[in-house]
Structure 1
Amino acid sequence: MQKVVLMALVVLSAACQTKTNNAEQNEATTKVMAVEQLLANAETMVDTEITVQGHVTHTCKHSGKRCFIVGDNPELSIRVEAGGQIQGFNRELTGNTIAVKGVLKERRLSEEYIAQWEEKVKLKEAKEDGTAETCAAEMSNISNMRQWMEANNKNYYSIYYVNGVSYEVVD
């Protein structure tokens, strides 16, 4: 009889521990983060379900399948791709604050890819067809990517984005 009671206590204890671990895991994935907080920890959160809140600065006007959000620092933004329950992002969202639930993803641009991109930009610059301003911006981006790669001792540049599942407008 004592063995049965002891076994029941062990099983209940394990069940409670599992519920606690699941609750902690769910709390971590439902905690709303600012864009800055997400990007600061992005490398360790790839392929993790997250919730990020930010101010919509742009929605794709042609397809509505993506939007960009920023936090307090307007220089840090993250792209959100429509998916799950999100059919698209309408233009009226621009200027609103939203909380997006989704999975954080990473796209890595290799050194080779960046070098090829730079060559294309240089060819475009040589044409002198009025795209000089665009080319200067692209060359600046390429330079910034290379500086980041050197500073972080990486042979690639990471671009993080969210595969959105759902969102809500926050007052």
Structure 2
Amino acid sequence: MKATSFLILTLLVIFSACNTQKSEDKTTKSAQIVDIAELLQEPGKFENQELSVKGLCIHTCRKSGKKLFLQGNTEEEFLKVTAGDNISTFENALEGEEVIVTGVFLAENIGEETHHEKEHEDSCASEKKPQNFFLKCNSFTVTKNGN
């Protein structure tokens, strides 16, 4: 009887440790805040991952409202952000605001995207700068007073 109780207790401890490990992994994989400069330096490191990025909204697409551009610490550091399925449009009032966007960081097939946008004349002036990645935004918040 003691041996059976000891075996059951041991198994419970093992299963409990396994479940704790899994929940820690889920927390680690949740959206992390990444600097735009870091994304630009190593975009492959973040591809297909959910993350959050904070930056100054320098442009929203006037035609479709489905794109915005965040600027990092310099004018050369910027990130294209596209609206995900649960975002109808990005309002023009976001321009000049500090924004935190959360979504999946993806590589873009430049050839197809450029061809598609030429057909639909939906490209923004800010898209003239070459980039082959973007963030598909699931949610965003405007920060107050830069915080």
Secondary structure of the residue aligned to 2:108 is strand
For 2:59, give the aligned amino acid: H
4+ residue runs over 6 A deviation:
none
Matched, 1:163 2:136: yes
Tell me the percent identity: 22
State the distance in 2 between where 1:73 and 1:56 align. Answer: 13
* Partner in structure 2 of residue 72 of structure 1: 73
State the distance in 2 between where 1:74 and 1:33 align. Answer: 18
State the distance in 1 between where 2:54 and 2:43 align. Answer: 15
Q: Which structure dedicates a bigger proportion of its chain to helix?
A: 1
Post-superposition CA distance 1:131-169 (Å, at most 9, x none): xxxxxxx7xx7xxx7xxxxxxxxxxxx611111111000
State the distance in 1 between where 2:65 and 2:74 align. Answer: 24
- Contact kept, 8 Å, 1:38 with 1:52, in 2: the verdict is no
Measured after TM superposition, the shift of residue 85 of structure 1 is 2.8
State the distance in 2 between where 1:69 and 1:4 align. Answer: 55
State the distance in 2 between where 1:25 and 1:65 align. Answer: 27
State the distance in 1 between where 2:94 and 2:26 align. Answer: 34
Q: TM-score, normalised by structure 1?
A: 0.66
- Contact kept, 8 Å, 1:56 with 1:96, in 2: the verdict is yes
Matched, 1:58 2:31: no
**RMSD over aligned Cα atoms:** 2.2
One of 1, 7, 18 as aligned partner of 1:3: 7
Larger radius of gyration: 1
- Contact kept, 8 Å, 1:102 with 1:165, in 2: the verdict is yes
Equivalences, count: 126
Secondary structure of the residue aligned to 2:76 is coil
* Partner in structure 1 of residue 18 of structure 2: 14
**Residue ranges of structure 1 left out of the alignment (5+ in a row):** 114-137, 146-157
Secondary structure of the residue aligned to 2:59 is strand
Q: TM-score, normalised by structure 2?
A: 0.76
